[in-house]
Amino acid sequence: MTVHIPFDNTYAALPEGFYARQKPTAVSTPALIAFNEDLAKVLGVTHDDLADLAQVFSGNALPDGSAPIAQLYSGHQFGQYNPQLGDGRAILLGEVVGSDGQRRDIQLKGSGQTPFSRMGDGRAWLGPVLREYVVSEAMHALSVPTTRALAAVSTGDAVLRETALPGAVLTRVAQSHIRVGTFQVFAARRDLGRLRTLYAYTVERHYPNAENPHDLLDEVIQRQAKLIAKWMSVGFIHGVMNTDNCTLSGETIDYGPCAFMDAYDPETVFSSIDRYGRYAYIRQPDIIVWNMAQLATALVPLTDNPEASVERFTEQVHGMPELIRAEYERLFTAKIGITNVQTGDVPMVTDLLSRMHENSADFTNTFRALLTGKARDQFSDPMAFDQWAEGWQARIANEPDPQTLMRQTNPAIIPRNHRVEEMIARAVDGDYAPFHRLNAALANPFEDNDEYADLTRAPLPDERVLATFCGT
């Protein structure tokens, strides 16, 4: 075996009850689709043979030092508590300490059944694997905290969904896979011993300055407030903001029915199962506050005075909307070239978004076109933009370098839903060229590149993707 991964496992060293020890299930004919060499260098993953990479990242061969486990957690799914979830189609191979000194998990997704599979097959089909690879790496390039993709491997086995589909395995990298739901499962079981162990482990791994559960919640809230505001600023909609998909590290995780908005509409929903719009674009700030309330509830048993702690936790959670609002306003005023925010600047942003909604203006392309003077072309009634732009141009005349600021905050390219679906359809037919081209284009999202101009175009009416589907 020529693949070397410098494992330094700590989660698998926790007492029994945090996970089930589980090896991946072998596949028939693994073939490497993609391997992220840049990320591999950071992780210290080395190899001599691409065939060996396919064996390791399909789960057919376990590298030395791995400690494969399926993690236990619970969670609220669309507001309803499920007392036991866990990794039903994922195996955590282990952890590495990268060249940057940061500890990260390496996890196989679609690697077979585990004790938490709940009648599922534990497998993934090709489409969601490629979608998560593309979108998670695009989010990283956009400077959004996120899990990352190390490898994608086809399995040679069919996966049965509505029909038979080609199987695949994704290798996902995360600062950790500790979720709000990881705390919830032990709090709900009144397992104070394991809850304390999880708390101590989380503090040591992610928040060494936290001296008590209130400090931990404060730091998680700070990260999540910045994360959600960042999502909003690039038009990203997660789709399944369940507490089991909410990390303590503050990373975006689980790219199921996710999508980026095309035409701006704050009520946009892409998840095929979100019938009531719980996780619509505009409600993401409310949902993250709700999720943090669930984390606070799970932390109460760790405090010496639960009654007083509930009051303090409540104050912390109630203060979160203001944190999100402040970060949102900072990001959106930057998108229109304003560094030194003054009275009237935030209403100017709100007015622009309202006009974009009324005129079906593309979210990404409108903001990027502020650089070129062609934003009016995105509006069904260009006069609606012209009326707004007069005051905006007078305002940014007093800013030091609005062009540079807008260029740094408004991407020229995002993973358009219709392009992702096209890429998946071609890959199912055995053509991975669109997948590789999309990854190359999205690696530098703030740069204009004529070679990829077709990928920046908003979808035509018959190209619009109205729903994406949960799960793999």
Q: What is d(CA 227, CA 331) in angstroms, rounded to the nearest whole number?
A: 11
**Dihedral pair phi/psi, residue 150, rounded to 5°:** -95, -35
Q: At what angle do helices 192-206 and 180-188 cross, to 10 degrees?
A: 160
Q: What is d(CA 384, CA 357) in angstroms, rounded to the nearest whole number?
A: 11
What's the CA angle centered on 73, arms 69 and 79, to 5 degrees? 150
Q: Report helix, strand and coil shares of the chain as percent, to nearest 5.
A: 45, 15, 40
- Which residue type sits at 168? A
Q: Which position among 244, 262, 345, 362 bears the catalytic label?
A: 244
Contacts 24+ apart (CB under 8 A), 282-286: 284/228, 284/231, 284/232, 284/237, 284/238, 284/241, 285/228, 285/229, 285/232, 285/321, 285/324, 285/325, 285/328
Q: What is d(CA 150, CA 65) in angstroms, rounded to the nearest whole number?
A: 18
Would you call 304 a catalytic residue per the annotation?
Answer: no
Name the 3-class secondary structure at 98: coil
Name the 3-class secondary structure at 361: coil
User: Which among 169, 32, 28 has a CA at the least distance from the CA of 106?
Assistant: 169
> 217: which 2 tokens?
């919640």
Q: Helix (H) and strand (E) counts for the chain?
A: 15, 12
Q: What pairs with residue 170 in β-bridges? A: 109, 152
Q: What is d(CA 338, CA 346) in angstroms, rounded to the nearest whole number?
A: 10
Active site residues: 244
